[in-house]
Structure 1
Amino acid sequence: MAGTRLDITRIEAARRAIDPTFLDTPLYRCEALEPVLGCAVSVKLETANPVRSFKGRGTELVASQLAGGAAVCASAGNLGQALAWSGRGRGLDVTVVASRFAPAAKLDRIRALGATLELVDGDFDMARERTVAIARDRGIRLVEDSLDIETCEGAATIGLELVDAAQPFDTVLIALGGGALATGVGHVLKTRAPGVEVVCVQPLGAPAMTRSWRERRVVTTDSTDTIADGVAGRLPIQEVLDDLLLVADDAVLVREESIIAGMRLLLEHAGLVVEPSAALGIAAILEDRDRFAGRHVVTIVCGSNVDVDAYHRWVGTATRR
């Protein structure tokens, strides 16, 4: 697709650089969800891999270009795990900067994978500022999720797998945070399946990228307030927004109670334990059933790194619909 930073030829080549453990993830029709949601629903499951999220697709591309070097990234938890995993197998020295308030399970896993973990007393965007200083002072590679094209084109391989699927679909629902997943998958769909609607979903409590998409300019927020920590950014990146404006058909915001209800539905009807960001697609259907009625919708279940105590608290208090 002309105009974006992404390139379909590079995306196709990315399949050869990414460890097969992250590729060809399950895509299946989940009929048990359909009576509740009022539409045909297929799940693209990006959690059945060593880091339990789609992020490994992008970090595999990054790490493949850094033979024996060092890298630093900011992470809400999933990117850090993925870079640590990809770096460990290639002898890379990986440093991850994260918020002290990130889910403990994600932080523990980053350490277990051998990365150096530095914590800041703030949110993801504060962590991102710290990584800039580390990269400058140490002269190492700064990996910036969504800005670095490898993170977008790695995620875009999900789009290739979707368009290769035998069963046609009408809409793809994509969690929207920094934008790597949405711009990557969106680019492939607009190139190979332009009739498919690309809908991005973000929490009301972390609306910066959605507001930016709607106003066609970068809109920042002072804070975030959502359980979906994986998409809780305040400072959209201009280059990523430029790509998103070309590939997304819509961007919607959903309430916290809908995210929790989506997590419960995925547990009860699909047997999936997911983190809040992975339930955004189901939340979007719950909030606008009429829009999706009679359609075949794919939702990308993008991660399952969730704090167990918090998960039980959320799902245990969710309102049945």
Structure 2
Amino acid sequence: MRGTRLDTARIRAARRVIDPVFLDTPLYRCEALEPRLGCTVSIKLETANPVRSFKARGTEVVASRLAEGGAAAVVCASAGNLGQALAWSGRVRGLDVTVVASRFATVAKLDRIRALGARLELVDGDHEMARERAAAIARRDGIRLVEDSLDIETCEGAATIGLELVGTAPSFDTVLIALGGGALATGVGHVVKALAPGVEVICVQPLGAPAMTRSWREGRVVITDSADTIADGVAGRCPVPAVLDDLLLVADDAVLVREESIMAGMRMLLHHAGLVVEPSAALGIAAVLEDRGRFAGRHVVTIVCGSNVDVDAYHRWVGAAALHGS
């Protein structure tokens, strides 16, 4: 597909440097969900790996190239999943990894970053403040700053999911993709539009963190003052212009969903698919719940993108979904 920053040949090459433990994740039809959603549902399970999210596909590409170039250190800002992934990928390649995160991030994610050997620095603000601090560290120390979604390796690593979808899935009509910074959406979207152009690419974001969706709808960067959602992995406020340009070319639609629907989606994935997922991973199910008529009779693929959750918070969210009758 022409126009985006991504390249399908590079995406195919990326598979050769990604640890196989992160590749060829399960893809299966989940019939137990279908009576409740009114459509055929297939799940791409990106949590079945050592860091329990799709992010390592991208950090494997980043770290591999850094190691080949003789780099010794790297820094990133993260809500949690990117930091874990970079810590994993950097550790096995001898890189000194620093992760900057909000001290309000999910504790389980922060603990795992430390356990993987990364240096963790916390800021008293949101993810955007963490991004600013990570950039300052990179300038001060003269090391590589990994910027999720802006760095093409993160998008093309995520795009390998798209290769697996179009290469192994039976015919499907729609792919539902969690939308945050945009690496997953632009990566998978690029491959789907290049290799299966008839498939509808729908991005899903929380109503409380709508910056990228509003930007896509208006065709320009829209920065929001705040982000208020339990889906911390997609809670950015400041879209990257180059990523938005890519998204405008590959997304057919971008929708916003309520917090209640996200929690209901998490509960459905637990009770009918046996999956404990973080809120971002339930966005696709939430989109179907809010507009069953749109998806009736379709074959929908949803990417379950992460399962790093605080156990107490998870029980509150799933319990809240039960109280709302989902």
Q: State whether TM-score is above 0.5.
A: yes
Q: Does 1:41 align with 2:41?
A: yes
**One-letter amino acid of the structure 2 residue matched with residue 33 of structure 1:** L
Q: Does 1:27 align with 2:32?
A: no
Q: In 2, Cα distance between the equivalents of 1:292 and 1:199?
A: 11
Q: Is the 8 A contact 2:79 2:232 kept in 1?
A: yes
**One-letter amino acid of the structure 2 residue matched with residue 80 of structure 1:** G
Match of 1:211 in 2: 214
Q: What CA RMSD, in Å, does the superposition of the two structures yield over aligned residues?
A: 0.6
Q: Which string of whole-angstrom CA distances, capped at 9 and with x for unpartnered residues, describes residues 219-240 of structure 1?
A: 0001010000000000000000
Q: Which string of whole-angstrom CA distances, capped at 9 and with x for unpartnered residues, describes residues 245-280 of structure 1?
A: 000000000000000000000000000000000000
**One-letter amino acid of the structure 1 residue matched with residue 196 of structure 2:** A
1:168 alignment partner, SS class: coil
| Gaps in structure 2 of 5+ consecutive residues | none
Match of 1:96 in 2: 99
Q: Is the 8 A contact 2:27 2:169 kept in 1?
A: no
Q: In 2, Cα distance between the equivalents of 1:4 and 1:167?
A: 26
Q: In 1, Cα distance between the equivalents of 2:261 and 2:72?
A: 43
Q: Which string of whole-angstrom CA distances, capped at 9 and with x for unpartnered residues, describes residues 50-104 of structure 1?
A: 1000000000000001125100000000000000000000010000000000000
Residue 320 of structure 1: CA displacement?
Answer: 2.8
Structure 2 matches for 1:17-96, cutoff 5 A? Answer: 17-67=17-67, 68-96=71-99
**One-letter amino acid of the structure 2 residue matched with residue 121 of structure 1:** D
Q: Does 1:310 align with 2:313?
A: yes
Percent of aligned pairs sharing the same letter: 85
Q: In 2, Cα distance between the equivalents of 1:191 and 1:260?
A: 33
Pick the aligned partner of 1:276 from 276, 279, 283. Answer: 279
Q: Which string of whole-angstrom CA distances, capped at 9 and with x for unpartnered residues, describes residues 98-117 of structure 1?
A: 00000000000000000000
| Gaps in structure 1 of 5+ consecutive residues | none
Q: Does 1:137 align with 2:140?
A: yes
Aligned length: 321
2:168 alignment partner, SS class: coil
Residue 25 of structure 1: CA displacement?
Answer: 0.3
- Deviation beyond 4 Å, 4+ runs, structure 1: none
Match of 1:225 in 2: 228
Match of 2:245 in 1: 242
Structure 2 matches for 1:279-294, cutoff 5 A? Answer: 279-294=282-297
Match of 1:149 in 2: 152
Q: In 2, Cα distance between the equivalents of 1:166 and 1:80?
A: 30
**One-letter amino acid of the structure 2 residue matched with residue 301 of structure 1:** V
Q: Does 1:320 align with 2:325?
A: yes
Q: Which string of whole-angstrom CA distances, capped at 9 and with x for unpartnered residues, describes residues 99-140 of structure 1?
A: 000000000000000000000000111100001100000000
Q: In 2, Cα distance between the equivalents of 1:320 and 1:3?
A: 45
Match of 1:295 in 2: 298
Residue 166 of structure 1: CA displacement?
Answer: 4.3
Q: In 1, Cα distance between the equivalents of 2:135 and 2:25?
A: 33
Residue 316 of structure 1: CA displacement?
Answer: 1.4
1:17 alignment partner, SS class: coil
Q: In 1, Cα distance between the equivalents of 2:91 and 2:169?
A: 36
Q: Is the 8 A contact 2:97 2:118 kept in 1?
A: yes
TM-score by length of 1: 0.99
Q: In 1, Cα distance between the equivalents of 2:37 and 2:262?
A: 14
Q: In 2, Cα distance between the equivalents of 1:317 and 1:123?
A: 25
Pick the aligned partner of 1:176 from 169, 172, 179. Answer: 179
**One-letter amino acid of the structure 2 residue matched with residue 56 of structure 1:** A
Q: In 1, Cα distance between the equivalents of 2:192 and 2:37?
A: 24
Q: In 1, Cα distance between the equivalents of 2:65 and 2:162?
A: 23
**One-letter amino acid of the structure 2 residue matched with residue 90 of structure 1:** R
